[in-house]
Structure 1
Amino acid sequence: MGKEHLSHFRRCENGVMAVEFAMVAPVMILLMLASVELPRAIMTGQEVSRAARTMADLVSRENLASLDDVYAAGAAVADLPLADLGIVVTAAGVYSESGALVAKVCSIKTSNATGLAVKSVIGPAPPASAEAGARYVMAEVGYTYKPAFTIIPALMRYRFSNTVQWPVRKGTTYKGKPEIVLPNGKPCE
């Protein structure tokens, strides 16, 4: 009787589909969740970039007594909570030092982030402002991503950040150049 049961068990095909489904279902579920999470993450990165561009553009237009409206506009364009954004807005000047053009911080304003100190070197002058005495605005926005699903470990606590350098459009003229002075800041020296 034992050999008959084994022989019958070997030929039996009942439940094969259930086993196949049990093997394929987790993979299909992971693919479905990833097809939601990855586009959402890409869109969040684009929103952070859009917020930085918006803030740089708004600040470059004129001196403002407060940047609260600029921060709110950046958060609205990005469709992200303002409290979750790390924002650094910098008014910078370009100086000639040892034959090289160097950008330095003239005034700075932050929200939920830390920035460089006034007179700190930012780095080489951006190509659009590559002349001594040039002035520009720089907006940096950072956001720690909050995934809807925790299936992709690389996205857990991933930080999107974007820095935009924008030429001064209007501003107060100091030393013959239009310049933006951020709230509680001073013009470039």
Structure 2
Amino acid sequence: MTRLPVRLRRFRANEDAVAAIEFAIVLPFMLLLCMGGVELGNALSINVKVTATVHTIADILSQNKCVTTSDVTGILNASSKVLSPYDVTKAVVTVSEVQPTGDNVTAKVIWSQSLNGAARTAGSTVTLPTSLTGVPTTSGLILGEATYAYTPNLGYTISGTVTLRDSYYLYPRQTNFVPTITSGSTPPVPTTSCPTS
């Protein structure tokens, strides 16, 4: 019986393989931290692309005096390339022209087109950000919007699909409104900048 306490003391004093045991304890946390950093980096990179896309679409449209629906479709297709190399089919890119209603809160949709999603309904309202309080009702605003459904490769069961989104407003640069027309129709907003046929 006297041998048992001696063996317990030897076992307690034994430091063989302590580093291996510590490594085994720390490894799962280190892997989780590493993979989480990769996923966070991907999400942030895609978010930057989403922001660049809405800035691009609003900037291009705001430079026109008048556009056709096919022009807008081409611009939407081109602007979606900003998201490359990420999967463009997971993105919804929408551009609209809205007119402030004068209540400092909302604007009415004049026209809207979308890529991979549903456009805003003409005549519906959007809530303006507080930074646009007091904008004049005599001019339209170009609204670029984009969303991206990001699904993490790891941790999907924890977070699921995360929707990254951004929007951006710009004043038209050459006219008060940038109407969109289809062949043989009149512009939705009275203007001299759009030819009618």
Q: TM-score range by the shorter chain?
A: 0.7 to 0.9
Query: What amino acid sits opposite 2:96 in the alignment?
Result: T
For residue 91 of structure 2, the aligned residue among 80, 85, 89 is 85
Counterpart in the other structure of 1:53: 55
Q: Distance in 1 between matches of 2:37 and 2:139?
A: 46
RMSD (Å) for aligned C-alpha atoms: 2.8
Alignment of 1:1-189 (within 5 A): 3=4, 4-62=6-64, 63-66=67-70, 67-79=72-84, 80-96=86-102, 100-101=103-104, 102-124=106-128, 127=132, 130-150=135-155, 153-154=158-159, 156-170=160-174, 178-182=176-180, 184=182, 186-188=187-189
Q: Distance in 2 between matches of 1:29 and 1:81?
A: 26
Q: Distance in 2 between matches of 1:116 and 1:75?
A: 18
Determine if contact 2:76/2:114 at 8 Å carries over to the other structure.
Answer: no
Residue 121 (structure 1) shift: 1.9
Determine if contact 2:98/2:143 at 8 Å carries over to the other structure.
Answer: yes
Q: Distance in 2 between matches of 1:149 and 1:92?
A: 40
Q: Distance in 2 between matches of 1:157 and 1:34?
A: 15
Q: Distance in 1 between matches of 2:180 and 2:133?
A: 21
Q: For residues 37-89 of structure 1, give each alpha carbon's deviation from its aligned partner in whole angstroms, at most 9, with x where no partner exists.
A: 22221121111010011011112222144233322322222223332211221
More strand by share: 1
Residue 151 (structure 1) shift: 7.3
Determine if contact 1:72/1:82 at 8 Å carries over to the other structure.
Answer: no
Please, what TM-score do these two structures have when normalized by structure 2? 0.77
- Structure 1 residues without counterparts, runs of 5 or longer: 171-176
Residue 11 (structure 1) shift: 2.8
Query: What amino acid sits opposite 1:51 in the alignment?
Result: T
Q: Distance in 2 between matches of 1:138 and 1:160?
A: 17
Q: Distance in 2 between matches of 1:16 and 1:151?
A: 35
Query: What amino acid sits opposite 1:181 in the alignment?
Result: P
Determine if contact 1:61/1:169 at 8 Å carries over to the other structure.
Answer: yes
Q: Distance in 2 between matches of 1:9 and 1:133?
A: 85
Query: What amino acid sits opposite 2:167 in the alignment?
Result: T
